[in-house]
Structure 1
Amino acid sequence: MRSLSYIVLFIIFQSCASQVKPTLIDAEMETNVTEKLSYYLYFPDDYDVDPEKDFPILLFLHGGGESGDSLVTIKRNGPPKLILEGKKFPFLILAPQNPNPKKWWNTRAVKQLLDSIVKTNRIDKRRIYLTGLSRGGGAAWEMAVQYPETFAAMAVVCGMTPLPYASWINKKMPMWVFHGEKDKSIPIEESETMVAKLKEMGYEVLFTKYPNVGHSAWIKAYETDALYDWFMDQELK
């Protein structure tokens, strides 16, 4: 009888299994992700001189320390700081603020903002430049991967790098990477490995290392006048 009960149970299990419905179904859901971005927009002095002239634009992405809801913090570093100190730039500068102190940049939202600024101002679409420092540097790498046909040139300062996606970046886009050799927040190996990989694949990459400089490599990087001359020499290919 015991063996017979085993047989009966086995038959019951087999019967139940045959009635199980497939768990893989087709479905669809429309998502809607929004982000409120505050930003500064700088115009060069001669923007209104010739109403027929289009200008380049530089998208600047700040580091984690400037994230939040106080737009004034963006002026602590990079091009916004230099503008306050009186420096003149030959292109527009778009400097949005990441509203999330503990989160990465929402690069899709940034791209939507950039597209809107380009559409509503006299922008040369073949001369859109990208730069970022620290967390913003990581976001710059991400945007170069996600939107390879948008940017004419990119400069990254001490940013984390998406090494596995190096091949997705536009091979015709020149890049300039800056990093402090004593950086303890984002080790210089991040940039060294990425630059080596890109050069191995035939990309055009400049690499500037700062001896005895930590994570604040952006101070020297953005005070490099040659950087802005270099940007102005680039055009989307």
Structure 2
Amino acid sequence: MKWNKAAAGLLAGMMVMGLSVSAEETGDIVELTGVTAIAETLEDGQAVTCVMIEYPGEVAAGTVSLSSYKVPGRKISKVYVNNSGEKGEAEAQGKYVFVELSVDLTPGAGEGGTLLYANGENMRLPINLTIQQTANVTLASGDIVEAGSFTNTAEQNLLVDEFLELTYTNPEDGSELPYRLYIPEGYEEKGEEEALPLVVFLHGAGESGSNGVNNETQLMGNPSALEFAREDAQEEHPCFVLAPQSPSHSWSQNNGTEEDPEYGPNQDGENVKNVIDELIGEYDIDASRIYGTGLSMGSRGTWALSTAYPDLYAAQINIASADVYSEEGLAEIADKPIWALVSSDDSEERVNGFRDNIADLEAQGAVVERRMDEQGWNGYARGEASEEEAKEQLAAAEESGANVLYTEYIAGTTVPNPHWSWRPSFANDAIRDWLFAQQQETPYTPE
């Protein structure tokens, strides 16, 4: 009889335990907290690369896998969880589930793109993404989020969102210049910190705001400005990054004639200088290390500002623009460190314009180190391969005492468009290293 009682008690305990586990597995039905579409700026432009799903409780890493989700038209490459809400960080469990999406990086593929090119400019489209959870997901608490389809409730623009969104208003004529500003950590206010360089990036025509100012496509159309703000870049060369957007679709104007053009800064270009002057007063910026950079239309604007205000930039990077400047203007910057790059199969106007500018600088006293024709660079190259090309030219420039470097990419290697030579150029760490090594003996003084 005693044995029977013990057995009955054990059986009852097992039943209670079984009921307890069953209750835990069939917890409350709960709803997702939110779905965030994550986009990042790639060489082809901004694209959706990840979906972050926020659950109302923690999810064990082993609970979800590649087969747990589907995104129509996209291939899933990774699924992981964390509590940080940061892409790329995987933990044992967390309330955030990250679903990373494969992106075809073939130049011109544009998979998952967020931009629409129309009327000569890129426009940012709203992200409407659907993700399917293919089976119920049981949280660590036992609660359940049922299978279903969900649309993103928020967007996140990696690195772009770290730039302040600001607008300058000219007190004299009321003209406005929208701009984005990256501020290094710890430099949010002017204090006694060591002054840091300022990189000024002027975008090309496709990122203008004449069809409607958006103050974002200058950071989304290509990653040129972002290269200076990436975590590893900031560790190596901490700096402020200024990326304005032209409302007029131009940074410069022809002050000459159609037959004899001569470019100088227009109102947008002048306002860029005004913003620089203001920033020097507001932040710990090293006025002896202000760097001008630009691509296409932005390269023209960089040349225009530099020739109009020769003391402004300590050095400049110019990529793929068609320009004509006066001998007097070029003479003022003939001793400035300049690196000009263009694809040899870009338009005749741009290639010949660059060659003429460099020759004119040389005639005014600049020492030039060229890489073109059979010595041209490979536009396909990235990483160490492209850096080695730059280092070789830099070594030759140091030996010859050259302050101007001129580089042409081999025809057919800048893809999918020979005009897009900014892609390999701004991705080249050695070019950026050269830029940050330049410093003016006399710091620029705002007017």
TM-score range, shorter-chain basis? 0.7 to 0.9
State the Cα deviation string for residues 73-93 of structure 1 (Å, max 9, x = none): 111224334368755332111
Aligned length: 206
- In the alignment, which residue of structure 1 is the partner of 2:336? 173
CA distance in 1, matches of 2:174, 2:343: 35
CA distance in 2, matches of 1:35, 1:93: 22
Instruction: Give, as a single letter, the amino acid of the residue that structure 2 aligns with 1:58.
Output: V
How far residue 103 of structure 1 moved from its aligned partner, in angstroms, is 7.2
Q: Is the 8 A contact 1:161 1:194 kept in 2?
A: yes
Between 1:179-188 and 1:35-44, the stretch displaced more is 179-188
CA distance in 1, matches of 2:223, 2:331: 27
SS of equivalent residue, structure 1 residue 179 = strand
Q: Please, which runs of 5 or more residues in structure 1 have no aligned partner?
A: 1-31
Residue 340 of structure 2 corresponds to residue 141 of structure 1: no
Q: 1:44 to 1:33 in 2, by over 3 A?
A: same
How far residue 42 of structure 1 moved from its aligned partner, in angstroms, is 1.2
TM-score by length of 2: 0.43
Q: 1:107 to 1:189 in 2, by over 3 A?
A: same
- In the alignment, which residue of structure 2 is the partner of 1:80? 225
How far residue 52 of structure 1 moved from its aligned partner, in angstroms, is 2.3
Residue 179 of structure 2 corresponds to residue 39 of structure 1: yes
Q: 1:185 to 1:39 in 2, by over 3 A?
A: farther
State the Cα deviation string for residues 173-199 of structure 1 (Å, max 9, x = none): 110001011113853111111112212
1:23-172 equivalence runs, <5 A: 32-45=172-185, 47=187, 51-68=192-209, 69-75=213-219, 76-82=221-227, 88-89=233-234, 90=237, 91-101=239-249, 104=252, 106-165=268-327, 166-172=329-335
TM-score by length of 1: 0.78
CA distance in 2, matches of 1:118, 1:193: 34
Q: 1:53 to 1:145 in 2, by over 3 A?
A: same
State the Cα deviation string for residues 49-87 of structure 1 (Å, max 9, x = none): x94210011111000100001122111224334368755
How far residue 167 of structure 1 moved from its aligned partner, in angstroms, is 3.3
Q: Is the 8 A contact 2:331 2:361 kept in 1?
A: no
How far residue 34 of structure 1 moved from its aligned partner, in angstroms, is 3.6
How far residue 134 of structure 1 moved from its aligned partner, in angstroms, is 0.5
Higher relative contact order (CA 8 A, sep 6+): 1
SS of equivalent residue, structure 1 residue 190 = helix
Q: Is the 8 A contact 1:142 1:162 kept in 2?
A: no
State the Cα deviation string for residues 97-117 of structure 1 (Å, max 9, x = none): 001236745211111011111
Instruction: Give, as a single letter, the amino acid of the residue that structure 2 aligns with 1:93.
Output: V
SS of equivalent residue, structure 1 residue 227 = helix
Q: Which has the larger radius of gyration?
A: 2
Instruction: Give, as a single letter, the amino acid of the residue that structure 2 aligns with 1:33.
Output: D
How far residue 218 of structure 1 moved from its aligned partner, in angstroms, is 0.6
CA distance in 2, matches of 1:87, 1:74: 21
Q: Is the 8 A contact 1:62 1:132 kept in 2?
A: yes
Instruction: Give, as a single letter, the amino acid of the residue that structure 1 aligns with 2:288.
Output: R
Structure whose residues are more often strand by fraction: 2
CA distance in 2, matches of 1:70, 1:185: 32
Q: Alignment partner for residue 225 of structure 1, among 406, 429, 447?
A: 429
- The percent of aligned pairs where both chains have the same amino acid is 28
CA distance in 1, matches of 2:338, 2:180: 24
Structure whose residues are more often helix by fraction: 1
Instruction: Give, as a single letter, the amino acid of the residue that structure 2 aligns with 1:73.
Output: T
Q: Is the 8 A contact 2:251 2:297 kept in 1?
A: no
SS of equivalent residue, structure 1 residue 142 = helix
Instruction: Give, as a single letter, the amino acid of the residue that structure 1 aligns with 2:435.
Output: F
